[in-house]
Amino acid sequence: MKIGFDAKRLYNNFTGLGNYSRFVVDALDKFYPENKYFLFTPKITSNPETLSFLNAENIDTILPPAWVPTVKLGSAWRRFRIGHQAARIGVDIYHGLSQELPYSVPGNIRTLVTIHDLIFIRYPHLYSPIDAAIYKAKVKHACRVADKIISISEQTAQDLVDLLGVDRTKIQIINQGCHSNFRLPFSPQQLSEIKLKYKLPDEFILNVGTIESRKNTLLIAKALNILKGKTTLPLVLIGRGTAYLNEIKHYARENGLEDRIIYIHNIQFKDLPGIYRLAKVFVYPSLFEGFGIPIVEAITCNVPVITSTGSCFGEAAGPHSIYVDPVDAEALAHQLQHVLQDEEVRDNMISKSKLYIQKFQPDVIARNLQEAYGSVLKN
């Protein structure tokens, strides 16, 4: 098969959607080298994460005509011309990896789109009205024209049905996996260097992700306040800060927790798996996610997880993680104390959760995608 991908985020985004795009293409290229892969992007940002795709024997990167970036028509090229360029190459399958498809694709090319979440519909106040309207229009178009929709979770699949009226038979759930860096071993010396580099405490509770109201990080601070006198472990926050971070800092000042909450906003991605491995427990009290990839990252790095009830969290964390109501600070405090005090509980959570996340390994996801491509060609 000749498979084309919307690779704008693969080459230019180095967080969520970019990581997903690189994971998918890398896994397919590794396990199905008989295919030919074409990455369509309006530009390429120089980054170590993208070098392997530029140098791969079985991957071609397709840029627009030279005049397009000059007059800043990259978006128009992605929306209206990629399909015709893909047809000239002879692409069989075109896969939109980030919730959108071109507005013009010749009928002989089968199309798939990955939908990650509909948070802009569930929580529109987190977006500007214009952005929310654009995202919704793109998703509705993609779901209408796609031959198959790939949903990264059962939660997102149900949202597509409930919020956009998508036919459930058109949706296939294929979960996402985490970056290969999280599966690398770290020596004691490497971990010691990372600890020193970021001035990390000997033991700590970890939370990773954008620090915004939907992520509900303030709940952890409230649990720490409840646990005063029972544990002195600090909370390490890693992620891009928003105005919500000021709420957390204000709460910490008001409750004498300033020295218990450590915010690190500038880390090297290669160090993040080591920081996970240094943590005692990972707490992810988010109100809603499309999948919750930091949960999988934590388990991969041998860290027990406490997360929220509801949404997709059970899909990501499995039956051997701990779940609390995301508005119940008392419950979180109780479970934190339980996990922190009992090494046997932590070890059991880790070992059984690692078995659960085997379903998120690259070979499994690549096989599921290959079968999805075959099914749309057959039909």
Percent of the chain with pLDDT over 90: 88
Which range (64-78, 98-112, 249-263, 355-369) has the least confidence?
Answer: 64-78
Mean pLDDT rounded to a whole number for the chain = 95
Kindly indicate whether the domain formed by 180-357 is annotated with CATH number 3.40.50.2000: yes
CA-to-CA distance for 176 and 275, rounded, in angstroms? 22
Q: Is 161 exposed, middle or buried (0-12, 13-18, 19+ CB in 10 A)?
A: middle
Task: Give the pLDDT mean for 217-228.
Answer: 97
Whole-prediction pTM: 0.92
Residue with tokens 């519909």: 121
Question: Nearest to residue 25, comparing CAs of 54, 48, 47?
Answer: 54
Sign of the alpha-carbon torsion through 192, 193, 194, 198: positive
What token pair was written down for 162? 């409930």
Question: For 287-333, how does the pLDDT look when each residue is reduced to its tens digit (9 = 90+)?
Answer: 999 999 999 999 999 999 999 998 899 999 999 999 999 999 999 99
Please spell the DSSP secondary structure of 311-379, one letter per residue.
Answer: TTHHHHH-TTSEEE-TT-HHHHHHHHHHHHH-HHHHHHHHHHHHHHGGGGSHHHHHHHHHHHHHHHHH-
Q: At what angle do helices 218-226 and 243-254 cross, to 10 degrees?
A: 10
Measure Cα distances from 338 to 104, 331, 334 in Å.
Answer: 56, 11, 6
Which runs of E-coded beta strand occur in 116-228? Answer: 148-151, 171-173, 205-208
Which helix (H) or strand (E) segment holds residue 2: the answer is strand 2-6
Which helix (H) or strand (E) segment holds residue 111: the answer is strand 110-115
CA-to-CA distance for 263 and 282, rounded, in angstroms? 15
| pLDDT for res 79 | 85
Measure Cα distances from 116 to 83, 213, 256, 270, 299 in Å.
Answer: 22, 19, 39, 24, 21
Question: For 55-83, how does the pLDDT look when each residue is reduced to its tens digit (9 = 90+)?
Answer: 999 999 999 987 777 667 778 888 888 99
| pLDDT for res 379 | 81
Question: For 244-275, how does the pLDDT look when each residue is reduced to its tens digit (9 = 90+)?
Answer: 999 999 999 999 999 999 999 889 999 999 99
Which superfamily is assigned to 2-177+361-378 in CATH? Glycogen Phosphorylase B; (3.40.50.2000)
Which amino acid is residue 17, in one-letter code? Answer: L
For the chain, give every residue range classified as CATH 3.40.50.2000. 2-177+361-378, 180-357
